[in-house]
Amino acid sequence: MAGSQWELPPELCCRPMAFVALTGLDVVYNAVHRAIWDAFCANRRADRVPISFKVLPGDHEYPKCRTKRTSYEWYIPKGIVKTGWMNKHLNLVPALVVLFYELDWDDPQWKEKQSECATKVEIVRTSLQGRNTKVAVVLIQKKTPLPPGEDLVASERASALCSSCDLSGKSLFVLPHTDHLVGYIIRLENAFYEHAQTYYYTEIRRVKSHKEFLNKTTHQLLFVRHQFKMAFLSELKQDTQNALKYYRAAYSLVHELRAHETNMLEIKTMAGFINYKICRLCFQHNTPLDAIAQFRKHIDLCKKKIGCAELAFEHSAWMSKQFQSFGELFDEAIKLGLTAIQTQNPGFYYQQAACYSQDRKQMAQQLCQAGTTYPSPDPLDTQSGGLDFYGQRPWRQGHQSIDPTDPEKEKLGILALQIKERDVPHSELIIALLSNAVAQFKKYKCPRMKSHLMVQMGEEYYHARDYTKALKLLDYVMCDYRTERWWPLLTAILTTALHCAYLMASVKDYVIYCMELLGRASTLKEEQKSRIEKNLFKVLMNDIPEAESECDQSSVGAARSLWTDRMALSGSNELTVEMQDYIPFIQCKARFQSPSFHVDQPIQLQVFLRADCPHPVSFSKLTVSLSNQEYNQWCVVESSGQDSMTLLPGKPRCYNFSFVAKTEDVGKKVEMTGIEMMLGGDSGRCVFLSWRGAGGDAASTQEALQASRSSRRWGRGNEARQELDWDTLTLQHSTMIISRVPRICVQLSHQPPALTNEMFCINLTVQSQEDVMAKDVKLTAGLKPGQEAGLGQTTHVTLDGSSVCDDNAPALLTDVPLGDLTPGEKLEKCVYMKCVSTGPRIFLFHVAYSIDTAVEGRHIVCNCHKDETVTVETVVPFEVSVKFVSTKFEPLEQVAVDIPFLLMTDILSSSPWPLLLSSSSLQLLTVTSSTPQLQSQLQQVVLQTGESASECFCLRCPADTSSSNTVATGQYVVSWRRKCSSADSPLIQTTVTLPHVILESVPLYIYADLPSFGRVRDSLPVRYHIENRTAQVQEVEIAVDPSDAFMFSGLKQVRLRVLPSTEQQMLYNYYPLMAGYQTLPQLNISLPRCPTSSSPTLRRFLPQRIFVKPQGRQPDDASIAAA
Amino acid sequence: MFHICLLMFSPQNYPLYIRSVPCQNELKFHYTVHTSLDVVEEKVSAVGKSLADQRELYLGLLYPTEDYKVYGYVTNSKVKFVIVVDSSNTSLRDNEIRSMFRKLHNSFTDVMCNPFYNPGDPIQSKAFNGIVSGMMVQTVCVF
């Protein structure tokens, strides 16, 4: 195969390992030997020594060693390195031959076996005549050996065996066939490895020793050969540092060789080999920069060494291979842990390799035309079937002079090579390399490089006539270039793609690429565009397009017949092309005239079209699809033969559509879902250009952005321009249909704020300003939805203002029919709101009606509505405060059972409007009224803002109240309304729950009967009542303190007993001496039996002071008489 | 005669200005420059990370190919300049390229100052063209 001529030989690319031959093992029939062999070759991981083992028969013939040259004086080398040399040292000439022999130390037939073994060693030695290969013997023993020195027989017999086999003691090994086979084997192979290393060491020395016999004139080739051999042997010895040194030396020597046309290939081949080895070792030593530097040097040195001009493709092939193999080495190193970067990764080398392969292809096309018949006899045939030396010509092997020996033979040879080159699948090679490179660039974040290479791949597929694959690749990368807006590159790709589509006769692709090449993104010249446009019209007419200019003749013929078939095929004559993904030659932009339309207006829609191609384009149909398909029928233009359907180059055209929206679509959005334009007609082929939404294509967004920037700068200039500016046209792809503008007047009147619980009245006035009857007027009134969640429960709306509504009334009254309104008619309505809680509320008044109207001659029934909202604050009308006081108007913390006390209420108005308090009442619980009939003291009282009204009730807690500590007292109900509201408006009952009281029971109750005032020097009779409220007899001690203001008569100190539930009376006659408020003589009461109730607690029931009037001028005789 | 190619890109990476001397093989230049944007993008995003480097607009040699050397430069408004020269053109060293970029940047600033120029549009300024031509003739014809 011609391609493989450039492949590196496998023996060069493998890792050299010491070669050790194992003989005397019967791995087929002997299980023990099989196990030993398996232990050697199985599981060779990195931690085992690098040896390649081979089992050979005992009498194997090793390659013969040629007699060693004693002098190089008359020797002229025929080439640099022989093709078989590396393989010979890797696989044929062992560093060590190991003879396995089954023999125990105590074998009964020791003597015979010893001599048999010696014979076998001798056979091996003979066959290795002249080589430095070592021989070693391994005795396979059944018994475990004793520790060294203990087994005297063993050591004696060992030395006997050594001497009979002529072995050194170090070359005799014992392998007991016991449990620890692998362990023994590993020890054995380490020993073998040492022997092998010695062997290679001596070999290197031997090659080195030749140097002194060489001279620089005739033996230049040998210098390279010897360095190469030493390097390779060093590798076998695993001495990679020295190997690298020798290879580098060999590399510089190879370039010192006299190069001429005849040996150029040999020099390059060897330079390539050595370079490969150097780079490989550098990567292995983890010095990738050295590898790259070496490779660069190598390329720079060899780039210009083209050699034979007729075979220039060979040079490119070789260069390509250099890059490829370096790329592979690099890639391998990366797999072993090297990190590459964006600007230095194997991809570049693969790419360059592909590049040289492309050169090779081109040169092959240029150079390989001449030869028609392959020369006979084949000049490339050699007797051995291969070459003796790497990189030589088969027809003149070993020839080293400057001029070819036989010019005729040379010519034939070149011809043969050229003819062979013609059969090389160049494109395949290029594509393989490119796809390698693509994979690398993908890894190292080079998307554009990747695209570029994919374009190249596509082009290569195109050249290889695999158009389907070519289109697939080109199509894939096209959109990258489209989004990056690189029009020259996009145009180039499109042109190739158009060729592919033409040659495949793929109608749809052909049409698409034509359209884009005609578009504004294309950088083609006008005449090319014109040609393409004509072709496009031909296809539309179901005709065969003209051939693309750069296609070769043979494929054009094939394409023509394909097109003819395609044309004959009827049926698939319609195709739809999505324009959004391309930059086609017809641009489309559509917009609704306004973002919203009233339902009684026609909806207006404009479609702008512009052709960028050089010739006018006619189309047969333009349709706009809308989200509601019922409107689609209004948005169609069809050609009727006149020029309205022709687009002139570069001139935008506008198509207007209008339609009447359906009334049920009010509140909905109408969207353009697509625009379709039909090119061609029924006679030929039709192509539907389809835009999604409201038009635009792959480039229009950016253009619009750019245009908006410039119009922002030059906004003023824009308006002045007469002509439509295409770029600033904006798309408006949807519109709202909104209801007709109502022509009624809705007014609200009310008196805010609302008071809690009142029936707040809002007066609604609706007046029609319509020209015709407004029918079905409906009112929706109440709390506007969407406010705080709790408001719905605390707001009630009703139309009935005569009574207070209950909690079942809704928060929003819906669709209250108000009848019809004639033009100009006025309608009033009161709506009552009851707000239970305070805070702001938004009330909505929604008046809806329907009206007959006509739009563009069509009668429609429009529903109109008008909304009014009002925000109303709700406040508390008044505050009620309540307190309990004793009969002495002292605040009470506790209420004594069965003793009268006072309840005082206070109503403080906080309403901005005057309030009329209609009445108030107490609804008592537990406690009873002391007065027989409770009468409201607040009837018909009017309170202005900030005024307050008070009431006082005397209450008593009945004696039989249960002993519980606190008791509920009941409720206070106030009924009221706004003063300004009409008299028949309902009264609002506001209920205030009275506070609980803490009860207290007193064992003894004392109270005094005394007149409301006294008079100086006038007798003042006071009677004290002492009641025992307990079930026991109470002993009471009473003493009266003297007082300056009074004289008195009565018992000054007394001790008395009060029987249960009875009372005692004490009568005193006080005689006031001073006028004014006077403190009454203090009564000290104590209950010896009941120490808790002391004198002060009892004293609180008694009056402290009394007002004493001065003596009158005419004293009342009666009172004196009483004193 | 050496080749030289000069390109400028918008921040969105589409070309604002392309000029190459001589004109043949222009497409190949375009591809080369377009691919070099990978490296420019990478370098620009790397600069963003370390604030200290932000002052340096010159990106240096972007990557060497067999045939061309590609140099890059990014203005503060992320407009990119790229110069491609033949690999064999050894007379243009880093310093020369750097000063070419600086000159370009200055005249680009002049273009931007033109109130009639809309940023993002292809550059069609005659003055700019003249400066670029002068620069190219100078570099190409010295040899």
What confidence category does residue B143 fall into, taking pLDDT thresholds of 50, 70 and 90? very low
Q: Can you give the CATH number for the domain in which B30 is found? A: 3.30.450.70
Name the 3-class secondary structure at A554: helix
The whole-angstrom distance between residue A740's C-alpha and the CA centroid of its chain comes to 44
Is the minimum CB–CB distance between B14 and chain A shorter than 8 Å? Answer: yes
Q: Average of pLDDT values for A263-291?
A: 91
**Chain A CB contacts of B35 below 8 Å:** 446, 448-449, 452
- Contacts of residue B44, defined as CB under 8 A and 6 or more positions apart, other chains included, come to B59, B74, B78, B80
| C-beta separation of A1022 from A1008 below 8 A | yes
Per-residue pLDDT of A1067-1107, as tens digits, reads 888 888 888 888 888 888 887 776 666 667 777 788 888 88
What confidence category does residue A281 fall into, taking pLDDT thresholds of 50, 70 and 90? very high
Share of chain A above pLDDT 90, in %: 9
What confidence category does residue B51 fall into, taking pLDDT thresholds of 50, 70 and 90? low
Instruction: Determine the pLDDT at residue A2.
Output: 38
Q: Cα-Cα-Cα-Cα dihedral of A344, A350, A356, A359, to 10°? A: -120
E strand residue ranges, A994-1033: 997-1000, 1004-1009, 1013-1015, 1020-1028
Pick the residue of B38, B80, B113, B114 with the most A CBs within 10 A to test the interface with A by mutation: B38
Burial per residue of A569-584, b for 16 or more beta-carbon CB atoms within 10 angstroms, e otherwise: eeeebeeebebeebbb
Pairing assessment for the beta strands A915-924 and A970-978 based on DSSP bridges: antiparallel
Dihedral angle sign, alpha carbons of residues A902, A908, A914, A920: negative
- Contacts of residue A435, defined as CB under 8 A and 6 or more positions apart, other chains included, come to A457
Per-residue pLDDT of A365-405, as tens digits, reads 888 776 567 777 777 777 777 788 888 888 888 777 777 77
φ and ψ of A381, to 5 deg: -75, 135
| C-beta separation of A604 from A632 below 8 A | no
Using beta carbons and an 8 Å cutoff, which residues of A are at the interface with B?
299, 342-343, 348, 352, 355, 445-449, 452, 455, 484-486, 488-489, 492, 702, 706, 709-710, 713
| C-beta separation of A779 from A793 below 8 A | no
What are the residue boundaries of the structural domains of chain A, listed by start? 1-200, 465-570, 586-707+727-738, 744-871, 878-1000, 1004-1109
Whether A411 has a pLDDT exceeding 60, the answer reads: yes
Whether B138 has a pLDDT exceeding 80, the answer reads: no
CATH 2.60.40.10 corresponds to the domain A744-871: yes
Kindly state the tokens that stand for A379: 């000049």
Whether A846 has a pLDDT exceeding 70, the answer reads: yes
- Contacts of residue B97, defined as CB under 8 A and 6 or more positions apart, other chains included, come to B71, B83, B85
What confidence category does residue A291 fall into, taking pLDDT thresholds of 50, 70 and 90? very high
- Nearest residue in B to A523, CA atom: B27
Pick the residue of A449, A450, A456, A489 with the most B CBs within 10 A to test the interface with B by mutation: A449
> B124 to chain A nearest CA, in Å?
16
Q: Average of pLDDT values for A57-75?
A: 77
Pick the residue of B23, B65, B118 with the most A CBs within 10 A to test the interface with A by mutation: B118
Output the CA–CA distances (angstroms, integers) from residue A693 to A591, A645, A672, A732, in the order listed: 10, 22, 5, 9
- Contacts of residue A1001, defined as CB under 8 A and 6 or more positions apart, other chains included, come to A896, A897, A963, A1029
| C-beta separation of A749 from A824 below 8 A | no
Pick the residue of A296, A326, A446 with the most B CBs within 10 A to test the interface with B by mutation: A446
Is the minimum CB–CB distance between B118 and chain A shorter than 8 Å? Answer: yes
Examine residue B48 and state whether it is found in any structural domain, yes or no. yes
What's the rounded Cα separation, in Å, for the pair A596 and A593? 8
Q: Do A710 and B65 touch (CB under 8 A)?
A: no
Name the 3-class secondary structure at A406: coil
**Chain B CB contacts of A348 below 8 Å:** 63, 65
**Chain A CB contacts of B62 below 8 Å:** 343
Per-residue pLDDT of A786-820, as tens digits, reads 888 778 888 888 888 788 887 788 888 888 888 88
β-sheet with A1013-1015: strand ranges across:
A1013-1015, A1105-1109, A1076-1079
What's the rounded Cα separation, in Å, for the pair A919 and A908? 15
Name the 3-class secondary structure at A706: helix
Dihedral angle sign, alpha carbons of residues A597, A599, A602, A606: positive
Name the 3-class secondary structure at A980: coil
Share of chain A above pLDDT 70, in %: 95
Examine residue B143 and state whether it is found in any structural domain, yes or no. no
Pick the residue of A486, A523, A550 with the most B CBs within 10 A to test the interface with B by mutation: A486
Alpha helices in A148-263 (DSSP H): 152-165, 181-209, 220-236, 240-256
User: How does DSSP assign A722-733, residue by residue?
Assistant: -S--TTT---B-
Q: Average of pLDDT values for A898-923?
A: 87
The whole-angstrom distance between residue A312's C-alpha and the CA centroid of its chain comes to 54
Q: Do A452 and B26 touch (CB under 8 A)?
A: no
CATH 3.40.50.300 corresponds to the domain A1004-1109: no
Is the minimum CB–CB distance between B26 and chain A shorter than 8 Å? Answer: yes
Paired with A990 in beta bridges are: A974
Whether B3 has a pLDDT exceeding 70, the answer reads: no
Name the 3-class secondary structure at A978: strand
- Contacts of residue A820, defined as CB under 8 A and 6 or more positions apart, other chains included, come to A773, A774, A775, A776, A777
B window 71-90, beta carbon within 8 A of A: none
Is the minimum CB–CB distance between B31 and chain A shorter than 8 Å? Answer: yes
Where is average pLDDT lowest: A715-724, A1043-1052, B37-46? A715-724
Paired with A1006 in beta bridges are: A1026
Whether A145 has a pLDDT exceeding 80, the answer reads: no
**Chain A CB contacts of B15 below 8 Å:** 485-486
Is the minimum CB–CB distance between B60 and chain A shorter than 8 Å? Answer: no
Q: Do B34 and A486 touch (CB under 8 A)?
A: yes
The count of other CB atoms within 10 Å of the CB of residue A618 is 15
Output the CA–CA distances (angstroms, integers) from residue A348 to A340, A360, B41, B64, B131, in the order listed: 11, 18, 18, 10, 35
Instruction: Determine the pLDDT at residue A716.
Output: 47
Of A271-280, A808-817, A927-936, B7-16, give the range with the top mean pLDDT: A271-280
Name the 3-class secondary structure at A1048: strand
The count of other CB atoms within 10 Å of the CB of residue A399 is 16
Q: How many CB pairs under 8 A join A and B?
A: 60
Kindly state the tokens that stand for A833: 């709101």
Indicate the residue type of A178: T
Q: Average of pLDDT values for A584-596?
A: 89
Tally of structural domains, chain B: 1
Whether B110 has a pLDDT exceeding 70, the answer reads: yes
> B140 to chain A nearest CA, in Å?
24
Instruction: Determine the pLDDT at residue A276.
Output: 94
Q: Do A448 and B118 touch (CB under 8 A)?
A: no
Per-residue pLDDT of A38-52, as tens digits, reads 888 887 777 788 888
> A339 to chain B nearest CA, in Å?
17
| C-beta separation of A265 from A393 below 8 A | yes
Q: Do A488 and B65 touch (CB under 8 A)?
A: no
Whether A360 has a pLDDT exceeding 70, the answer reads: yes
Return the CATH class of domain A1-200: alpha beta
> A498 to chain B nearest CA, in Å?
18
CATH architecture of A878-1000: Sandwich (2.60)
Kindly state the tokens that stand for A810: 């809704």
What's the rounded Cα separation, in Å, for the pair A182 and A36? 8
What's the rounded Cα separation, in Å, for the pair B4 and A216? 46
The count of other CB atoms within 10 Å of the CB of residue B22 is 12
Cut 0.90: pTM above it: no
Output the CA–CA distances (angstroms, integers) from residue A100 to A55, A96, A119, A631, in the order listed: 11, 13, 13, 98
Long-range CB pairs of A1095-1101 (<8 Å, 24+ gap) are A1097/A1002, A1098/A1002, A1098/A1004, A1098/A1006, A1100/A886, A1100/A888, A1100/A890, A1101/A899, A1101/A1005, A1101/A1006, A1101/A1007
Whether A551 has a pLDDT exceeding 80, the answer reads: no
| C-beta separation of A760 from A832 below 8 A | yes
If you average pLDDT over every residue of chain B, what do you get?
Answer: 79
Examine residue B79 and state whether it is found in any structural domain, yes or no. yes
E strand residue ranges, A727-798: 734-738, 744-750, 754-755, 759-768, 774-783, 795-798
Q: Do B66 and A445 touch (CB under 8 A)?
A: no
Assess whether the region A1-200 and the region A1004-1109 belong to the same CATH fold.
no
Is the minimum CB–CB distance between B53 and chain A shorter than 8 Å? Answer: no
* Cis previous bond, A63, omega within 30: no
Whether A597 has a pLDDT exceeding 70, the answer reads: yes
What confidence category does residue B142 fall into, taking pLDDT thresholds of 50, 70 and 90? very low
| Residue written as token pair 């005549």 | A129
3-state helix, strand, coil in chain B (%, to 5): 45, 25, 30
Is the minimum CB–CB distance between B5 and chain A shorter than 8 Å? Answer: no
CATH 2.60.40.10 corresponds to the domain A586-707+727-738: yes
What confidence category does residue A277 fall into, taking pLDDT thresholds of 50, 70 and 90? very high
- Print the SS3 string covering A797-864: EECCCCCCCCCCCCCEEEEEEEEEECCCCEEEEEEEEEECCCEEEEEEEEEEEEEEEEECCEEEEEEE
Where is average pLDDT lowest: A578-592, A744-758, A923-937, B95-109? A923-937
Q: Is B48 exposed, middle or buried (0-12, 13-18, 19+ CB in 10 A)?
A: exposed
Residue B29 belongs to what domain range? 2-136
- Nearest residue in B to A707, CA atom: B118
Is the minimum CB–CB distance between B38 and chain A shorter than 8 Å? Answer: yes
Where is average pLDDT lowest: A187-196, A638-647, B93-102? A638-647
What's the rounded Cα separation, in Å, for the pair A466 and B87? 35
